[in-house]
Amino acid sequence: MVKRTLYFGNPAYLKTKTEQLVIESAERDEPVTVPIEDIGLLIVDHAQVTITSGLMAKLLEKNVALVTCDATHHPTGLMLNLDGHTLQSKQFAAQLEAPLPVKKQLWQQTVTAKIYNQAMLLKQQGRENKLLLNYAKDVKSGDSENHEAKAAGYYWKNLFPPIIEFKRDRFGMPPNNMLNYGYAVLRAVVARSLVGSGLLPTLGIFHRNQYNAYCLADDIMEPYRPFVDKLICTMVNPLEPEFDLTPAHKKQLLTVPAMDVCVDGEKSPLMVAIQRTTASLAKCFEGKAKKIIYAELE
């Protein structure tokens, strides 16, 4: 089941009653209710949104990822359940004890999947992708030859029309703002799924920044970034390269969890595909599987 993504960009009072999210706002005469069990992601993007502690407890109990935005309306905070799996301590132990060779193999698979999806997106955009396909085939254990970075240089240079003169930079010119927002939504979905699989989002297989609380989420989201990029390619107008992140853009980017993707030859919503990915990762840590299941761009 695909969980709902709820976005609050106007003043509202959010509380809970009988397992329901109750929304009160000046825009509506009557409160609106949503079953909490149907929600996967809740984004707060206004300083005058009030959430009761009772509601926060219920959201976390149902493994809802609660995202807060800063003054520039970009996601900046993420709250997750600390007890998201019945065998959590066992899963934690397997993750913590995973040997280095296993982690290197998992990162090799992750980089290969990411570069392959980048290559498929370039193909869909009518651009040359043979170099990326070759990189994807030649990724070594732990990506010792840094094919991820080499592929990224070629990918970003060729993804958008030349007129945009795009350079990937988190603080750079548009459409970097769209990419940042889309990736933040994706990161929240991945982190939520990792918790649901009994894993620590903090402990990565490759990312190890001591200041990053979601290193594993940043690892596992890599092959899914091209799905966000694909959506943004449809939103970019090369004749009008100067554009702000509008409410309409946000509305489109919030559809990321429900995007159709392909997993093992079958169509699946992206959120469901990520759940399969994190479940397979947990099995790899336990020694019950050797391969992470990732969605593929067709």
Express each pLDDT in 244-291 by its tens digit: 788 889 999 999 999 999 999 899 999 999 999 999 999 999 999 999
Q: What does 20-86 look like in DSSP terms, one character per residue?
A: EEEEE-TT-SS-EEEEGGGEEEEEE--TTEEE-HHHHHHHHHTT-EEEEE-TTS-EEEEE--S---T
Per the annotation, binding residues for Mn(2+) are 148, 207, 222
User: Which of the 8 DSSP states describes residue 106?
Assistant: H
What was the pLDDT predicted at 208? 76
Q: Are 231 and 255 spatial neighbours (Cβ–Cβ below 8 Å)?
A: yes
- Range(s) of the chain covered by CATH 3.100.10.20: 4-79
* Nearest alpha carbon to residue 161 among 189, 190, 127, 212: 127
DSSP category for residue 9: -
Q: What is the pLDDT of residue 267?
A: 94
Annotated binding-site members? 148, 207, 222
If we measure between CA atoms, which residue out of 51, 43, 48 comes closest to residue 68? 43
Q: Are 227 and 124 in contact (CB under 8 A)?
A: no
- In the chain, which segments carry CATH 1.20.120.920? 88-286
CATH of domain 88-286: 1.20.120.920
Predicted local confidence at residue 54, as pLDDT: 96
Decide if pLDDT at 161 tops 70: yes
pLDDT band at 125 (very low <50, low <70, confident <90, very high): very high
Quote the pLDDT of residue 123.
Answer: 97
Q: State pLDDT tens for residues 51-110.
A: 999 999 999 999 999 999 998 888 888 998 877 566 677 888 999 999 999 999 999 999
The CATH classification number of 4-79 equals 3.100.10.20
pLDDT tens per residue, range 172-226 = 888 999 999 999 999 999 999 999 999 988 899 987 776 577 899 999 999 999 9
pLDDT for the residue 85: 60
Q: 43 pLDDT band (50/70/90 cuts)?
A: very high
Nearest one of 162, 161, 165, 139 to 151, comparing CA atoms: 139
**How much is the pLDDT for 242?**
57
Cα dihedral: 213, 145, 220, 261 (round 10): 150
